[in-house]
Amino acid sequence: MMKPYRQVPIQECGEPLVAIPLRLFAVETPHPYIKCGADYEGKSPYYLRQGVLDRLIQAQERLQVLHPDWRIQIFDAYRPVEVQEYMVNYTFEQTVAQRNLDLAKLSDIETNVIMADVYQIWAIPSFDLETPPPHSTGAAIDITLVDELGKIVNMGSPIDEMSDRSLPEYFANSQDSLAQQAHHHRQLLDRIMTHAGFIRHPGEWWHFSIGDQLWAWLNNQSDLQHPIPAYYGRAI
């Protein structure tokens, strides 16, 4: 499966991964994927490229102008390809179980259908330096918002949910009050991140990036005559 953004060339800028100052943000402890059994080999998952972190801090500052006691909650940031691979396999097995199927008796057709669904949410865990998963570049981040009580605000669906509710505009035309609230919060999240230079994943309300292949591809859709390369490749 070749997603179109993976064809964007990378001109690596060499910027380092740096630790996210977690005192500025909200985080879930333990990390969600560590709870699922992912092995970060003793390293913190809360790392980003320096320029990405600088922009994330700008987004946090913008949020606090609009909602002084709210914070960005970081769900996931840098993700080694090994963790990406683990989570793809984990999600596949969980999906098989949820659909009441027997993992040992799956047909090729059933396997392909489930993997296609998994890859709607998860990037391919490629070790090829020309096609790194977005999170493995240190340029992508999964986030939500928490209010003045530290409670996650209504976003309409959880991060990583494999359904149409993950689409950013899913609730845009709903007349339900809770759905309208969720859409408003998604718009707020997108607004503060866009203000800082990020672009949102078209299929995931929680995923934002800057400088990676997906970011470049989305930028290039509005100016096909002057395409730009990615400047963050796989962080090693």
207: helix, coil or strand? strand
CA geometry: angle at 57 spanning 51 and 63, to 5°? 140
47: helix, coil or strand? strand
Q: Which residues pair with 26 in a beta bridge?
A: 73
Question: Residue 183 is encoded by which pair of tokens?
Answer: 């859409």
**Contacts by 41-44 with C-beta closer than 8 Å and gap 24+?**
41/80, 41/82, 43/80, 44/19
232: helix, coil or strand? coil
Report DSSP letters for 128-197, one per residue: -TTS--GGGGT-EEEEEEE-TTSPBP--SS-TT--SGGGSTTTTTT---HHHHHHHHHHHHHHHHHHHTT
Catalytic residues: 204
